[in-house]
């Protein structure tokens, strides 16, 4: 998540945990904090933003295997 300070990233992660729980948004696997990645529903290159509405938590595998397939 380019252009975000580490503190802003932590705050977004905490808001996502509160809103959706500590689970991957795709496979629903429980995610310990060290395994959480922040997923953009609409990629920034496609006009997506770092707004909380465009972000979800995902496991590394789901986040990096989906590319532009969804």
Q: Give the per-residue pLDDT at 2.
A: 58
In a domain, 13, yes or no: yes
Domain that holds residue 31: 6-65
Residue stretches of the chain with pLDDT short of 50: none
Q: Give the per-residue pLDDT at 59.
A: 96
The contacts found for 60-64 with CB under 8 angstroms, 24 or more apart, are: 60/35, 61/27, 62/24, 62/25, 62/26, 62/27, 63/37, 63/39, 64/37
Q: Total structural domains in the chain?
A: 1
In a domain, 46, yes or no: yes
């Amino acid at each position: 998540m380019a252009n975000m300070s580490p503190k802003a990233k932590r705050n977004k992660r905490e808001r996502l945990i509160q809103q959706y729980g500590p689970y991957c948004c795709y496979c629903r696997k429980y995610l310990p904090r060290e395994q959480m990645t922040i997923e953009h529903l609409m990629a920034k290159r496609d006009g997506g933003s770092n707004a909380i509405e465009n972000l979800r938590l995902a496991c590394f595998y789901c986040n990096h295997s989906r590319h532009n397939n969804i």
